[in-house]
């Protein structure tokens, strides 16, 4: 079964609206030179989404958000809902990123609520899972990521799993320059693919210090269908080189 390949840039808390405009003004002219087989997603912070949305009109680059609330509206000070994202043409939303789990009280339960809402609202959730270094050292990597996946999709119908994207991001590899060996990432991602029925054609992205130098060695492997890229997605040339590398 052929699974599509996706390179998604997670800008985290980087780039004002002016910075986002400058990035896209440099990046978009490079897009026609990039392999058409690779789906490209950028996920700016909320405040840069309107600017990015305007720049991306007519471009073959999809717009993502980095989080959202599970309710559609209400008394949730500081939160942003799926309809607010959709209004700006957002198609993807990263859910369960380890930084939100560790620093912003995201739990398996809230990830599950958000995944259900994203699917109901026609957004593609990019659900991130991954183990800490201690869990890896304790031999608990497989159990950890399987538990996170099962919790995230509790109560989600099997056919909806075709509309999701998964990301395996070992926490110790994020932003450290210490990427997980591709063969080991592929092994864990194979475990993820098998942990629920219906994930056979679901794109699973690797995340954790992915660069233009190492992307090809990941996407060559059977269970790796692209990347969720943090640091190396912030520079337009570097991000374009990663997309190019994924299609080489
Ligand atoms: P990194 O981040 O590429 O900077 O390691 C990846 C992520 O957190 O999504």
**For the segment 59-110, what is each residue's pLDDT rounded down to a tens digit?**
999 999 999 999 999 999 999 999 999 999 999 999 999 999 999 999 999 9
Question: Does the Cβ of 226 fall within 6 Å of ligand 1?
Answer: no
Q: What is the pLDDT of residue 96?
A: 98
- Residue 189 reports pLDDT greater than 70: yes
SS (H, E, C) the chain: CCCCEEEEEECCCCCCHHHHHHHHHHHHHHHHHCCCCEEEEEECCHHHHHHHHHHHCCCCEEEEECCCCCCCCCCCCCCCCHHHHHCCCEEEEEECCHHHHHHCCCCHHHHHHHHHHHHHCCCEEEEEECCCHHHHHCCCHHHHHHHHHHHHCCCCCHHHHHHCEEEECCHHHCCCCCCCCHHHHHHHHHHHHHCCCCCCCCCEEECCCCCCCCHHHHHCCCCCCEEEECHHHCCHHHHHHHHHHHHC
Residues 39, 69, 97, 106: which is the catalytic one? Answer: 97
Q: Examine the residue annotation and report whether 97 is marked as an active-site residue of this protein.
A: yes
pLDDT tens for residues 219-242?
999 999 999 999 999 999 999 999
Average pLDDT of every residue of the chain: 97
Residue 211: pLDDT over 80 = yes
| pLDDT for residue 248 | 84
Cα of 75 from ligand 1 centre, angstroms = 32
Q: How far is the CA of 247 from the centre of ligand 1 (A)?
A: 20
Please tell me the pTM assigned to this model: 0.97
Active site (annotated) includes residue 135? no
Quick: pLDDT tens for 20-38: 999 999 999 999 999 999 9
């Amino acid at each position: 079964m052929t699974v599509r390949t996706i390179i998604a840039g997670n800008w985290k808390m980087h780039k004002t609206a002016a910075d986002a405009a400058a990035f896209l003004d440099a990046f978009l002219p490079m897009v026609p030179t990039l392999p058409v087989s690779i789906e490209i997603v950028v996920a700016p912070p909320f405040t840069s989404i309107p600017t990015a949305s305007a720049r991306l009109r007519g471009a073959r680059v999809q717009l993502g958000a980095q989080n959202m609330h599970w309710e559609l509206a209400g008394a949730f000070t500081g939160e942003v809902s799926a309809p607010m994202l959709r209004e700006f043409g957002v198609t993807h939303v990263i859910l369960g990123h380890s930084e939100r789990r560790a620093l912003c009280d995201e739990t398996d339960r809230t990830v599950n609520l958000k995944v259900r809402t994203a699917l109901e609202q026609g957004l593609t959730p990019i659900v991130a899972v991954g183990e800490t270094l201690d869990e890896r050292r304790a031999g608990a990597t497989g159990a950890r990521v399987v538990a996170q996946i099962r919790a995230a999709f509790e109560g989600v119908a099997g056919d909806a799993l075709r509309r999701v994207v998964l990301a395996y991001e070992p926490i110790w590899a994020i932003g450290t320059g210490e990427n997980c060996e591709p063969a080991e990432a592929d092994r864990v991602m194979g475990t993820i693919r098998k942990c629920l029925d219906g994930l056979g054609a679901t794109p699973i992205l690797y995340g954790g210090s992915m660069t233009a130098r190492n992307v090809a060695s990941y996407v060559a492997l059977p269970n790796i269908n692209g990347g969720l890229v943090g640091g190396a997605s912030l520079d337009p040339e570097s991000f374009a080189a990663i997309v190019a590398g994924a299609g080489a």
